[in-house]
Chain A
Amino acid sequence: MQLKLAPASPIPMYLQIVEQIRHAIAAGVLKPHDELPSVRALALEHLINPNTVARAYLELEREDLLSKRRGAGTYVSAQAEALGGAHRLRVVSQLLENAVTAAGEFGLTAKQVRTLLEERLKKAEVER
């Protein structure tokens, strides 16, 4: 998994890391029992403060997505897959909300939006 961090963003860096790891778990890029890079390695790779990485890992441990094994690093927890479901729904719901907001601003009708969504889903099915 490759993190894409934007230091100049108004979103704190630790939250960017949290969000991207959550996303990677929900998308199955990171699987239960996968090992994460050490705080030190990640900090040096991205030239960021180790405290920032530590804070992100701590937050994800609190959500039970990561678990620390004493003296053996940080891993994706066994129950992370189940917890990822909520994240998947939340992310897609947020993206749909953005689309609906834009549609409202452009004056599209509910019917037009529904048609667009149906077409999209059909196209995705074909591509799959």
Chain B
Amino acid sequence: MDRPAIAVEGLTRKFGRCLAVDSLTFEVPAGSVCAFLGRNGAGKTTAIRMMMNLLEVTAGRATLLGLDSRRDHTALMHRIGYVADTPLPYDWMKVKELVWFTAGFHPQWNQTLVNSLLDRFNLDREQKIRHLSRGTQAQLALVLALGGDPELLILDEPATGLDVVVRRDFLESIIQLMQQEGRTVLFSTHMLHEVERVADQVIILDRGRLIKSGAMDDLKLDSGLSLEETFVEVVAPKERA
């Protein structure tokens, strides 16, 4: 619990004149599940892509598992699982080929876990990626992210477009990962009710800036509000009647 799993300092990204992420600073304690919230366009995906070194920063830095996200990128990729909000790459591969291909990048690959998850999600190993539905692709992306036995799992809108049953499978997988000491999960989502089930930390962005963060329990105890009420109050104060 001593070293935070994620430490972001002054993270900033400009697109032309638009400040997509503005001096973002926060920490996520190791061993927690952190919900990364905000309306569409709040800067969640941009911030995550910078943390994953998939996008140049304009300023600032992200330290993941004690390592610099840019300088130590290769070492980090072995220890982080990531589910992007975009479709899977290499969509001409079969499921089993993409599994094999991904395993090659991970020294700690857990094929037993991957096999059991593929079975549980009823994923056909012979099917081509591009023939999978969006929900099935998201399941496969999660399986691949968990396969490397990650210390840190970063999920960008994993539940969007998934049906209730699949979303429950997702939550279950996250909870199973959390059973292991010191595992950390950060996920961005609009599904506030699911967040309230699993997240113990909350970060809310609005127009690129952090406007609320803290432990879920403290947030509720201090305000006497549900997460949804807090969310609406901080991101759309004027729109409330």
CB <8 Å contact, B227 and A8: yes
Bound Cα distance from A33 to B29, whole angstroms: 35
Smallest Cβ distance from A62 to chain B, in angstroms?
16
- Which of B175, B199, B216 lies in contact with A43, CB distance below 8 A? B175
CB <8 Å contact, A8 and B217: no
Determine the chain B residues whose CB is within 8 A of the CB of A8 once the complex forms.
Answer: 192-193, 196, 226-228
Q: A44-B176, A47-B168 are in contact. Are A12 and B220 (CB under 8 A)?
A: yes
B124 on the A face (CB < 8 A): no
A98 on the B face (CB < 8 A): no
A109 on the B face (CB < 8 A): no
CB <8 Å contact, A44 and B172: yes
Q: How many residues of B contact A (CB 8 A)?
A: 29
CB <8 Å contact, A13 and B196: yes
CB <8 Å contact, B178 and A47: no
CB <8 Å contact, B226 and A48: no
Determine the chain B residues whose CB is within 8 A of the CB of A10 once the complex forms.
Answer: 220, 223-226, 229
Q: Which residue from chain A places its CB closest to the CB of B228 in the assembled complex?
A: A8
CB <8 Å contact, B198 and A47: yes
DSSP majority for the A interface?
Answer: helix
A9 on the B face (CB < 8 A): yes
Which residues of chain B from 200 to 229 have a CB within 8 Å of any chain A CB? 200, 216-217, 220-221, 223-229
Contact flags (1/0) for A1-44 with B, using CB distance below 8 Å? 00000011111111100000000000000000000000010011
Bound Cα distance from A99 to B171, whole angstroms: 40
CB <8 Å contact, A51 and B31: yes
DSSP majority for the B interface?
Answer: helix
Q: A12-B216, A12-B221, A13-B196 are in contact. Are A50 and B175 (CB under 8 A)?
A: yes
Bound Cα distance from A7 to B35, whole angstroms: 14
Q: Which residue from chain A places its CB closest to the CB of B193 in the assembled complex?
A: A8
Q: A8-B227, A10-B226, A12-B216 are in contact. Are A47 and B171 (CB under 8 A)?
A: yes
Bound Cα distance from A37 to B199, whole angstroms: 21
Q: Which residue from chain B places its CB closest to the CB of A9 in the assembled complex?
A: B226
Q: How many residues of A contact B (CB 8 A)?
A: 20
Bound Cα distance from A33 to B109, whole angstroms: 42
B238 on the A face (CB < 8 A): no
- Which of A14, A46, A48 lies in contact with B217, CB distance below 8 A? A14
Smallest Cβ distance from A34 to chain B, in angstroms?
24
Determine the chain B residues whose CB is within 8 A of the CB of A14 once the complex forms.
Answer: 217
Determine the chain B residues whose CB is within 8 A of the CB of A115 once the complex forms.
Answer: none
CB <8 Å contact, A7 and B193: yes
Determine the chain A residues whose CB is within 8 A of the CB of B193 once the complex forms.
Answer: 7-8
B122 on the A face (CB < 8 A): no
- Counting from the closest, the 5 A-B pairs by CB-CB distance are A7-B196, A12-B217, A7-B197, A47-B171, A10-B226
In the complex, given contacts A47-B168, A48-B197, what are 5 additional A-B residue pairs having Cβ atoms less than 8 angstroms apart? A44-B172, A44-B176, A49-B197, A51-B200, A52-B200
